[in-house]
Amino acid sequence: MNEDLLAPEPEENELAFEAAVRPSNLEGFVGQQKVRQQLQLVLESAKLRGTNSDHILLVGPPGLGKTTLALIVSNETGHPIRLTSGPTIQHAGDLASILSSLTAGEILFIDEIHRMSRSAEEMLYLAMEDYRVDVMVGKGVGANSIPLELAPFTLIGATTRSGMLPTPLRDRFGFTGHLEFYDATELEEVVRRSAVHLNVNHDKDSLAEIARRSRGTPRIANRLLRRVRDFALVNDHSVITVEVAKAALALYEVDELGLDRIDKQLLELLTGRYANKSVGLSTLAVALGEEADTIEAVVEPYLVRTGLIVRTPRGREATAAAFAHMGKHHHSNSTQTTLDL
């Protein structure tokens, strides 16, 4: 194996790697120009007023940098941050214990905030607005509610599904940032920085090839870069070229558009068994053996964005581009059948 392709890398764990290449300030954050400018304004205004920042909601598909931005807010304001996620907050009591232990100015980051329990959400309304929570003490007839004062804090919520947030909760965020998929140039910069961190020898075109297949998502770009690095190392290539990158990505079943196995299975269904039909999400989930949530939040956004599928009120349908990509002939059918469960 070639030793000079890669310096010893202590952290192979994906989260550790993400943390290592994560920028520490807005200046160093690649892409999301609009959200960065808006966030900069919110933070500078809070600094000039000498108060905590408004509560912040970050919306967008997975892997675009919501957690990174939350950590940057902590770094830029100098306030500590506590990380948690919606699925772990299933009782109001869970939230009350987190909120009551926050120090003044601390930032609470709740990932997947749309998956909190309803009772915790209702407690959060009051906490965000008045910095207090009502805690129930005792049980049954003798139970009574005691107001508990909280230290002023900033909440940063992240969600892939803002439509699932109740309006009263959405309205309590002073700023909502919508993160967009990255373009190829921005992704190339992300991959280039990661390649430097991994000490990978490469030619410029190979990084463009990886970026092009990364579905507009930095997390996927970094993951593909590491897989290509592994392939080059094991196959004794001292430099990652376009040919090496293509061979590695072919092995991992990532095609020219960045579609992987599950994307292609979904397109296979919509251009095959269910061609010219509108198919409901639950039908697709059963056929693919995947959670409906995963298909809706992770798989579909990119397929819709690249014009391969359309979402209609009746269900999902493959476009002519999908038939072409899958090498199938598209018969347009005016009497569309609906298959929605």
**What are the catalytic residues?**
66-67, 111, 160, 219
Residues with Cβ within 8 Å of residue 21, at least 6 apart in sequence: 193, 194, 197, 222
Cα–Cα distance measured from residue 187 to residue 133, given in angstroms and rounded to the nearest whole number:
43
Cα dihedral: 236, 241, 244, 245 (round 10) = 130
- What are the distances in angstroms from CA 272 to CA 258, 265, 292, 323, 331? 21, 10, 20, 9, 11
| Helix-strand-coil split of the chain, %, nearest 5 | 50, 15, 35
Beta strand extents in 26-87 (DSSP E only): 56-59, 81-85
Beta strand extents in the chain (DSSP E only): 56-59, 81-85, 107-111, 132-137, 144-149, 154-159, 175-178, 277-279, 309-312, 315-318, 337-339
Strand order in the sheet with 337-339: 309-312, 315-318, 277-279, 337-339
- In the block, tokens 């990505």 appear at 249
Instruction: Please give the full DSSP string across 324-341, using - where no structure is assigned.
Output: HHTT------SS-EEE--
The phi and psi torsions of 69 (rounded to 5 degrees) equal -65, -40
How is residue 50 written in tokens? 């000498």
Cα–Cα distance measured from residue 10 to residue 19, given in angstroms and rounded to the nearest whole number:
13
Identify whether the C-beta of residue 270 lies closer than 8 Å to the C-beta of residue 279: yes
How is residue 185 written in tokens? 């140039």
How is residue 43 written in tokens? 């933070």
- In the block, tokens 């376009």 appear at 242
- Residue 329: CB atoms within 10 Å: 8
Q: Which residues pair with 156 in a beta bridge?
A: 56, 109
